[in-house]
Every structure is written in structure tokens, then in C-alpha cells.
Amino acid sequence: EFLCAAVALLLEQNYCIFDGIVRRQTTGFATGASAGASLAHIFLYELTRETFAAFDDNVRLLKCYIDDGLLVWRGPLDRLEDLFAALDSLTPGMRVTHEVSLFTAVFLDCRFFKGPIWTAHRRLDVCLYSKPVNGYLYKTFDSAAPLSQYKGVVLGELIRYIKRSSCPLAYMALSRLFYLRLRDRGYPPRFLREAFGSAPSWFARPRLLSHATQQPDSGRLRALVMPYSRELERTNLARV
């Protein structure tokens, strides 16, 4: 009962100021709500599960993340269109945009396709997928952030590129583009050489894909909030 009451509060009591007037949101919930992703998962699952169950004989694989999905279908295309039509009729305003292909599929930031690995081992190749509207607006190097944060961005992206690239040449091309984009954002060549040099090799991909980090559970949640500025860091007050 408490969870239902909390969800109702979250969905029904959203207020914002628009054009100088306090308004209550009556459709959906506030963007950025901490429970937003979980509620969206629950809602879409409950809304679509009976429809997908009716086509269970044709669905070989179904993976969903909020409003993004990957479907492997076995059966006639006209029955697949029947599935999409049934999904579009579930609720007013809902429309499923989709692409059908025998050779490639996009899910989240991955594009799966039948390439050299498929030819040799019957496993799908994978490469990074970026939306055409992606502006690659990384934090500029003159922002008030510690150098460790910039290095973390570089390492995190390079590791993501390795995981999303089944071909080493594709990873090399991605990392080259990434370097040029960071230079456009003001990242110095020396810093980038050091950051790129500390990244793992593409040949560490199997380990990265299978690696699972386990953090010790102390049973308590601790939060440390500290204001930061680069000027304050240069004073070395922490060493006094």
C-alpha cells in the first residue's frame, strides 16, 4: 500500500512554473524523477505483455530497455506487421517506430550485423551506434573540474568503444575520431596522449566483457559532497 501511495504521489503531484504560472502536470511524470526508469519499465511491460504473448510462437528473442527494443522474429512478415499494428492500438497516442532487416539491427548504442565473425563462426558482429543528432558535446577542458574527471571520461569512452567493437580496426577508427573531437573541445595533446596511453588494449576485450566488479556492502550509505574549483585545487590547501 505504501508503494502504491508513493507512486500515486509521484505521478499526480508534479508542479512546475511555466510562463509565470504554477501548473500541475496531468500526463506522465517529471523528467529526471529517480523512479522514472523503473516506472516506465513496469508500465510498458504490463501494457504489452499480453500482446507479445499472443505472438510467442514467432518471437525468438525480445529484449527491451524502456522504449528501446530488439526483436528476433521467425515467421511471415505480414504477421510481424500484425504485431506492430496490435502494439499501436494498445493506448491512444502510442506508435511503435521500427526497422526490419535480415542483416543488421540496432539496440541502444550497439549495431549488430552479419560480418566476418558471422561468416566464420555464425556469431553476430557488433559496432558502436551513435544517433545522427549526437553533437559529442564533451565537457570543455577549461571547465571547473578536476583532471581526474577528464581522464575518467576518456577511459570510460575508450572502454565502451572496445566493448562495442568486435573488430580492432573499427575500434581504432572510433578512438581516432574520439581524439579529434576532444581536441575540438580544447583537450591538450599531452593530456590526451597520457589518457589514451593508460587505456586498455582492444585485446583486453574478452576480459572487459566478462569482468564484474563487486563492491563490498558495508550496510550503510555515506555521501560526501565537496565544492570544487580548479583555482582552489591550485592553492594546495589540502596539503597545508
Q: How far is CA 48 from CA 18, 26, 29, 66, 99, in A?
A: 34, 23, 20, 12, 19
Q: What is the pLDDT of residue 94?
A: 83
Q: DSSP secondary-structure letter at 237?
A: G
**Which residues touch 2 (CB under 8 Å, ≥6 apart)?**
none
CA dist., res. 124 & res. 112, Å (int): 6
The Cα 12–Cα 32 span in angstroms is: 15
Q: Which residues of 31-53 are buried (b: 16+ CB within 10 A; e: fewer)?
A: eeeeeeeebeeeebeeebeeebe
CB contact set of 237 (below 8 Å; sequence gap of 6+): none
The predicted pLDDT at position 109 comes to: 93
pLDDT per residue rounded down to tens, the chain (240 residues):
788 888 888 788 888 888 899 988 887 777 777 777 888 888 888 899 999 999 999 999 999 888 899 999 999 999 999 999 999 999 888 888 999 999 999 999 999 999 999 999 999 999 999 998 999 999 999 988 889 999 999 999 999 999 999 999 999 999 999 999 999 999 999 999 999 999 999 999 999 998 655 555 666 666 655 566 666 666 665 554
Phi and psi, residue 149, nearest 5°? -70, -40
pLDDT of 110: 94
